[in-house]
Structure formats: structure tokens, C-alpha cells
């Protein structure tokens, strides 16, 4: 079953938060689970800054994330 991590209400994402997301992504891949991360502009900017957007399957909205996870 796929799932989405929604960070839209998060104001700040530090290295600990990024580390937790990376660990979650690794576990999902190991378990062959589809996942995606969405967030507000500040969170998206932070994730893109450290070049983790593709690894975390970063999407701009819940609708887009769910559509991609269906395929």
C-alpha cells in the first residue's frame, strides 16, 4: 500500500528531519512500498537544496502524488 508524507504544515525542516525522511525512504524501498513526500514552499526548498527531491519522490501536491503512486 503506498503512502504520502504530508509536510505542508511544517515550518522548518532541519538535518534531523531530513535524516528521518531518508531513513523512511530507505525502509520503503526495502519493503517495496511506494511513497511520496509533499510540502509547502519552505520544505520543498530545503529538500531541493540538499538534492533529495528525486530520492524522496517530492511532489507539489497531494493530488499529483496520489496520481503518480497509482501508476
* pLDDT tens for each residue of 11-61: 999 999 999 999 999 999 999 999 999 999 999 999 999 999 999 999 989
Tell me how many domains the chain contains. Answer: 1
CATH number, domain at 26? Answer: 3.30.750.24
- Contact 42/9 with Cβ under 8 angstroms? no
Q: Which domain holds residue 38?
A: 3-70
Whole-Å CA distances, 30 to 20, 23, 25, 33, 65: 15, 11, 9, 8, 20
In this prediction, residue 43 carries a pLDDT of 94
Cα–Cα distance for residue pair 40/10, rounded to 1 Å: 8
| Band of residue 70 on the pLDDT scale cut at 50, 70, 90 | confident
DSSP-derived secondary structure letter, 40 = -
pTM over 0.85: yes
Amino acid at each position: 500500500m503506498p503512502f504520502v508524507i504530508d509536510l505542508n504544515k511544517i515550518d522548518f525542516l532541519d538535518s534531523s528531519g531530513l535524516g528521518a525522511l531518508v531513513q523512511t525512504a530507505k525502509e520503503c524501498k526495502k519493503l517495496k512500498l511506494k511513497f511520496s513526500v509533499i510540502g509547502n514552499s519552505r520544505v520543498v526548498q530545503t529538500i531541493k537544496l540538499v538534492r533529495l527531491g528525486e530520492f524522496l519522490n517530492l511532489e507539489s501536491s497531494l493530488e499529483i502524488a496520489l496520481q503518480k503512486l497509482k501508476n
